Amino acid sequence: MALVLTEEQTMLRDSARGLIGDKAPIAHLRKLRDERDATGFSRELWKSFTEMGFAGLLVPEEFGGSGLGCVEAGVVMEEIGRNLTPSPFLSTAVLAASALARGGSDAQKKAYLPKIADGSLIAALAVDEGAKHRPTKIALQATRAGNGFKLKGAKALVVDGHVADLLIVAARSAGNPGDVDGLTLFLVDPKAKGVSIERTVMVDAHNAARISLDNVEVDTDHVLGEVDRGGALLEGVLNVGRAAVAAEMLGVADEAFGRTVAYLKERKQFGKLIGEFQALQHRAAHLYTEIEIVRAAVLKALQAIDTDPENAGFAVSVAKAKAGTVATLAVQEGVQMHGGMGMTDQFDVGLFMKRARVLQELFGDANYHAEALAAWKKY
């Protein structure tokens, strides 16, 4: 499959670029940050996303969505990254929609997918429990009780967890932390007895939450997929999220690069534009080639998920690892080439650095995915 967007995907990219660039430029993030907005994103903007059909990109047509694929979702994520836009698109339209579409029962799909498509439901995936992404280390316990389960434990870095109307919680229903098997996904009402949520504002001014569950009761109707066999479903959903985050990092890197090149063409030192200095030209050229490699890797990963999801893990890990290292390089070069001013809040390039750092950790950093690639090669 050619590593280029189709005409329809290009039109979607242009629509997303126009909407997000017009209604949610970086000044939008600054406004939310400085006003300490309780929600952390604009519900008016999310309404616009819904009207454009973005919220339902991964929702099947029979449930009110577009029934499109991960390439289309990645196109939108890249534009979100380009503008550092706070939005529940990743948590709800990508992760939750994928989880429900792949593992939900007919009743669960009918109950939740139309609400995701029309923008009335915000959902969040709760997976990680420590400082690093280690899905097989899940320890939150799901103990059988009556006609269901009791959930006890805590989750960290739950993106948009503070505003979620629905939580998708990964829990251990069998085995021990570290076992691949024994995981189950549950649909949990955040207002249920025993659920406590603490909002955390991250360094990039985006939002996540710490969530504690103290013997939260859920019945079997709220199990997503199969009991004890949720590992494969979870990994598939995480791969969708990882590829989407890689697409966002591509947007972050590309925009940081573009702003840096523009600065090289206007800043003068020793009577010359600094972009005339060969050393800076070499660094900019190297960064450009690295970003183009990421662009190809991300598109390949998104295409792989759409065409062969069971075997897409290799391409996804390549994209996430490469996007993480290159986004880090792009923002570091951006700050350095801006000089001392690059370290100030006056210049937006520092905001790109903060966002890149968070995205690098989300759903596995470059080291995590390098280890995953090594395991693929071995087996």
CATH code, domain carrying 14: 1.10.540.10
Do 103 and 35 belong together in one domain? yes
| Residue-level pLDDT at 377 | 60
In a domain, 14, yes or no: yes
Do 158 and 22 belong together in one domain? no
Of residues 144 and 1, the one with the higher pLDDT is 144
Query: Which of these three, 120, 135, 168, is where a domain ends?
Result: 120
Range of the domain at 275: 231-377
User: Please, are residues 308 and 344 in contact by the beta-carbon 8 Å criterion?
Assistant: no
Do 247 and 315 belong together in one domain? yes
In this prediction, residues 119-124 reach a mean pLDDT of 96
In this prediction, residues 196-200 reach a mean pLDDT of 95
Of residues 168 and 348, the one with the higher pLDDT is 168
| Residue-level pLDDT at 378 | 46
| Residue-level pLDDT at 304 | 96
Query: Which of these three, 204, 228, 252, is where a domain ends?
Result: 228
Do 102 and 138 belong together in one domain? no
Do 68 and 82 belong together in one domain? yes
For the segment 171-193, what is each residue's pLDDT rounded down to a tens digit? 999 999 988 899 999 999 999 99
pLDDT band, very low/low/confident/very high, at 45 (cuts 50, 70, 90): very high
Given a cut of 90, whether residue 266 has pLDDT beyond it is no
User: Please, are residues 203 and 357 in contact by the beta-carbon 8 Å criterion?
Assistant: yes
In a domain, 364, yes or no: yes
Count of domains observed in the chain = 3
User: Please, are residues 122 and 130 in contact by the beta-carbon 8 Å criterion?
Assistant: no
The CATH number assigned to the domain holding 132 equals 2.40.110.10
In a domain, 81, yes or no: yes
For the segment 299-335, what is each residue's pLDDT rounded down to a tens digit? 999 999 999 999 999 999 999 999 999 999 999 999 9
Tokens 């890197």 identify what position? Answer: 253
CA separation for the pair 172, 183 (Å, rounded): 5
User: Please, are residues 244 and 77 in contact by the beta-carbon 8 Å criterion?
Assistant: yes
List Cβ neighbours of 328 (8 Å cut-off, separation of 6 or more).
356, 357, 360
- Above pLDDT 70, what percent of the chain? 99
User: Please, are residues 330 and 257 in contact by the beta-carbon 8 Å criterion?
Assistant: yes
Given a cut of 60, whether residue 196 has pLDDT beyond it is yes
Given a cut of 60, whether residue 379 has pLDDT beyond it is no
Long-range contacts at 279-287 (CB < 8 A, ≥ 24 apart): 280/337, 283/333, 283/337, 284/257, 284/260, 284/333, 284/337, 287/257, 287/326, 287/329, 287/330, 287/333
Do 244 and 354 belong together in one domain? yes
CA separation for the pair 169, 223 (Å, rounded): 10
| Residue-level pLDDT at 341 | 78
Comparing CA positions, the residue from 108, 106, 135, 138 lying closest to residue 123 is: 108
Average pLDDT, the chain: 94
In a domain, 113, yes or no: yes
CA separation for the pair 73, 241 (Å, rounded): 10
In a domain, 1, yes or no: no
Do 349 and 300 belong together in one domain? yes
Do 175 and 280 belong together in one domain? no
The CATH number assigned to the domain holding 308 equals 1.20.140.10
| Residue-level pLDDT at 68 | 95
Do 222 and 275 belong together in one domain? no
For the segment 354-367, what is each residue's pLDDT rounded down to a tens digit? 999 999 999 999 99
Do 219 and 240 belong together in one domain? no
Do 279 and 371 belong together in one domain? yes
Query: Which of these three, 103, 120, 137, is where a domain ends?
Result: 120
Given a cut of 70, whether residue 149 has pLDDT beyond it is yes
For the segment 100-109, what is each residue's pLDDT rounded down to a tens digit? 999 999 999 9
| Residue-level pLDDT at 267 | 84
In a domain, 347, yes or no: yes
In a domain, 294, yes or no: yes
Do 53 and 162 belong together in one domain? no
Tokens 């098997």 identify what position? Answer: 181
| Residue-level pLDDT at 25 | 92
Angle, CA 70 vertex, CA 308 and CA 322 arms, to 5°:
85
In a domain, 2, yes or no: no
